[in-house]
Amino acid sequence: MVVRLGGRGWAARCCAACGESKTSAKMSRVGKLPIQIPAGVTVEMNGASVRVKGPKGTLAVECPASVRVTRAEAELRVERAGETSAHRAAHGLTRKLLANMVHGVSVGFSRVLEISGVGYRAEVKGDSLQLALGYSHPIVFKLPPGIKARVDRQTVVTLEGADRQLLGQAAAAIRALRRCEPYKGKGIKYSDELIRRKAGKAAAGGAGTR
């Protein structure tokens, strides 16, 4: 059986099966959702600039000209100026960035890294993270402003911050210092990351010998 995708009327049939019209299918599902402003968070808008302040810090973003941000009571809404693919992309992206800012300054974000290996460990010293990763010298990673680190059992590093993008970049930079290798699993990985393990050459060769 061959299923042909595309053709006239195909989009309309799919939308009808999902209970949506062709026009609503073009709308950004993320962009049209309102952003609730929790208590203790203030939002300042000055033209295309949006500034959000809360208990965890202050963040700001410059919105593109293709979208418009409005505020009604305790929520923010993002509207787009056109229906092109660029407008729809900017619509959803801007709404997500603003939602991350509101969540970041009110609750904050966190990322957990796990360190595996004999003698591998981490320690927080001031605004830096000192890591022993099997090299001849310890590695000192300076935490960017706004990012804090906490070390549990010397092998679990928790990064916290209000800026989700900056937090992700810091976590990726630390992970890149010693990525987990697939044979013994030594290195740094995200707590929810799955490392595909491989058999060593000795084990693989010995399995086929008699």
Domain assignments of the chain as residue spans, ordered by start: 28-106, 109-195
Q: What is the pLDDT of residue 81?
A: 85
Q: pLDDT tens for residues 134-158?
A: 999 999 999 999 999 999 989 999 9
Q: Would 28-106 and 109-195 be classified into the same CATH topology?
A: yes
Query: What is the rounded CA–CA span in Å between residue 108 and residue 100?
Result: 9
Q: pLDDT tens for residues 1-47?
A: 343 444 444 344 444 444 444 444 454 578 888 999 999 999 999 98
Q: What is the pLDDT of residue 136?
A: 92
Query: What is the rounded CA–CA span in Å between residue 161 and residue 111?
Result: 9
128 SS3 class: strand
Q: pLDDT tens for residues 48-85?
A: 899 999 999 999 999 998 899 998 888 999 998 888 88
User: What is the CATH code of the structural domain delimited by 28-106?
Assistant: 3.90.930.12
Task: Say which CATH architecture domain 109-195 belongs to.
Answer: Alpha-Beta Complex (3.90)
* φ, ψ dihedrals at 46, nearest 5°: -135, 90
Which bin fits 57, alpha (ψ -120 to 50), beta or left (φ > 0)?
left
Q: What is the pLDDT of residue 133?
A: 95
Q: How many CB atoms lie within 10 A of CB 143?
A: 17
